[in-house]
């Protein structure tokens, strides 16, 4: 279905992305030459064992970290070459973030947290859009509360609303449901998926949970800093099967492409 949609230009892409932490004997190649395109108006999940470089990839794509080599492009703009001021502007206007925890400023109310990016950018609030987003996350009656008075699930939904309210080009979410039970996870993921379907958002999300991954249009698999798998229109079953086959081949990158059910990681 959505996979058959004509592939517009990708919203973000990486070419030969390498990230090395440290140096000498203790150097860690967290990303080891990653080429990937994230589809516009699509929800992409990234999976992989712990330490495989998922967060690193996301940080490099979002301009939170600088790659050692290679390029990361968001909406046609090379972010590796941006200075701090440009990066701040990019984050403020073009990107949305959802972290695993500590997403909200404790001194601000839920509503103030949601409109924070707009306040910072001094952009006037689009009431209708705000209402739509707040309605979608189901927080209408909780807007005056401080984060400390909200449950973990509610906090993550506030974070989602905040990430979406400024209509960013792409939302990066690092294990957004890592701390939530299955019901709350379902609400958050459903909301993210709807934002893609209804509002045309692009979302990139890291997760360990096959069910969460199955909300996405596409799942990428990382191991030892390389792309080792890529499936479209996942179900929990196909995700589990792919994880299983990857685990059997072992986390060596002897033959990543062969192990991948899809022929080319960069195809979308």
Partner 1 sequence: MLRVALRGIRAHLVRFLLSLLAVALGVAFVAGTFALRSMLSGTFDGIVEASTPADAYVRGLDPAADASDDGDDGGTAAPAGGPGAAFGSASPGVPLTLIEAAAAADDVAAVIPVIQGSVVLVGADGTAVAAGQAPSLALVYSADDPSITLLAGSAPVGDGEIALESGALAASGLAPGDTTTVVLGGEIREVTVTGEVGYSASFAGATLVLLPQDVALAVYAPDGLVSQLAVFGADGATQDDVVASVTRALAGLDAGDAAAAGVEVVTGEDVVQENKDAIGTVLGFITTFLLVFAAIALFVGAFIISNTFAMSVRQRMREFALLRAVGASPVQVFASILVQAAVVGLVGSALGVAGGLGLVELLRAVLGSMGMELAGDVPLDAASVGLSLGVGTLVSVVAAAIPARRAALVPPVEAMRDDVTTPEAPMHRRLVVGLVLALGGAAALAAAMLRPDSGRAGLLLGVGAGAVVVAMLALAPAIATAVVRVLAWPLVRALPPMGRLARGNVVRNPRRTASTAGALMIGMALVGAATVIASTTQASVADVVAQEVDADLVLRSAGAGIPAGAVTDVRALDDVATADAFAFAALAVAGPDETGDGGDTGDAVAPAAGTIVVGATPGTFGRTMTVTTVDGDLATLADGLAAVNQTVAGEDWRVGDTLRITSSTGSHEVQVGAVVTSQGIGGSVVVDADVLDTWEPPQAQVIDTVFVRGTTGDVEALRTEVAAAVSPYIVVSVMTSDEFVSDLAAQVDQILVILYALLGLSIVIAVLGIVNTLALSVIERTREIGLLRAVGLGRLQLAATITIESVLTAVFGTAIGLAVGVGLASTLPTLFADQGLSQLAIPWGSLLAMLALAVVVGVLAALWPGVRAARLRVLDAVSYE
Contact by Cβ (8 Å): 210, 221: no
Whether the Cβ atoms of residue 58 and residue 46 lie closer than 8 Å to each other: yes
Query: In 3D, which of 46, 55, 159 has the Cα closest to residue 105?
Result: 159
From the list Mg ion, ligand ATP, partner 1, none, pick the one residue 131 interacts with, judged by a Cβ distance below 5 to 8 Å according to partner type.
Answer: none
- Which residue from 55, 154, 214, 260 is in contact with Mg ion, where contact means CB under 5 A? 55
Decide which of ligand ATP, Mg ion, partner 1, none touches 93; Cβ closer than 5 to 8 Å per partner kind. partner 1
Question: Under rule CB under 8 A, which residues in 29-48 are in contact with partner 1?
Answer: none
151: Cβ contacts below 8 Å, ≥ 6 apart: 184
**Calpha distance 204→190 (Å, rounded):** 14
Q: Judged by CB under 8 A, does residue 105 bind partner 1?
A: yes
Q: Which is nearer to partner 1, 125 or 241 (CB)?
A: 125
C-alpha triplet 194, 58, 98: angle, nearest 5°: 45
CA distances from 47 to 60, 225, 226 (A): 16, 12, 12
Taking CB under 6 A as the criterion, the residue among 33, 41, 51, 70 binding ligand ATP is: 51
Distance from C-alpha of 207 to C-alpha of 240, rounded to nearest angstrom: 13
Q: Are 199 and 161 in contact (CB under 8 A)?
A: no
Stretch that binds Mg ion, among 49-57, 75-83, 148-156, 161-169 (CB under 5 A): 49-57
* 58 forms part of the interface with partner 1 (CB under 8 A): no
Minimum distance, C-beta of residue 162 to partner 1, in the bound complex (Å): 7
CB of 133 to Mg ion, least distance (A): 26
- Which chain residues interact with partner 1 by CB under 8 A? 59, 64-65, 84-85, 88-89, 91-93, 96-97, 99, 101-108, 112, 116-117, 119-122, 162
- Which chain residues interact with ligand ATP by CB under 6 A? 21-22, 28, 30, 48, 50-56
């Amino acid at each position: 279905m959505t996979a058959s949609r004509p592939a517009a230009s990708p919203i973000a892409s990486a070419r030969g992305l390498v990230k090395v932490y440290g140096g000498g004997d203790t150097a860690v190649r967290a990303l080891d030459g990653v080429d990937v395109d994230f589809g516009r108006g699509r929800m992409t999940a990234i999976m992989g064992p712990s330490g495989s470089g998922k967060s690193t990839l996301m940080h490099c794509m979002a301009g939170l970290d600088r790659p050692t080599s290679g390029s990361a492009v968001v909406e046609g703009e090379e972010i590796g070459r941006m200075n701090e001021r440009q990066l701040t502007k990019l984050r403020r206007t073009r990107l949305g973030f959802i972290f695993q925890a500590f997403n909200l400023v404790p001194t601000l109310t839920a509503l103030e947290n949601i409109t924070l990016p707009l306040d910072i950018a001094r952009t006037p609030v689009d009431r209708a859009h705000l209402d739509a987003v707040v309605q979608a996350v189901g927080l209408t009656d909780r807007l005056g509360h401080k984060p400390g008075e909200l449950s973990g699930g509610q906090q993550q939904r506030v974070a989602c609303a905040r990430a979406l309210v400024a209509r960013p080009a792409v939302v990066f979410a690092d294990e957004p449901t890592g701390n939530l039970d299955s019901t709350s996870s379902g609400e958050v993921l459903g909301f993210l998926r709807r934002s893609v379907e209804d509002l045309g958002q692009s979302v990139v999300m890291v997760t360990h949970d096959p069910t969460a991954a199955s909300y996405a249009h596409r799942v990428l698999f990382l191991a030892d800093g390389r792309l080792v798998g890529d499936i479209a229109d996942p179900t929990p079953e196909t995700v589990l099967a792919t994880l299983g086959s990857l685990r059997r081949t072992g986390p060596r990158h002897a033959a990543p492409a062969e192990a991948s059910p899809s022929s080319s990681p960069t195809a979308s």
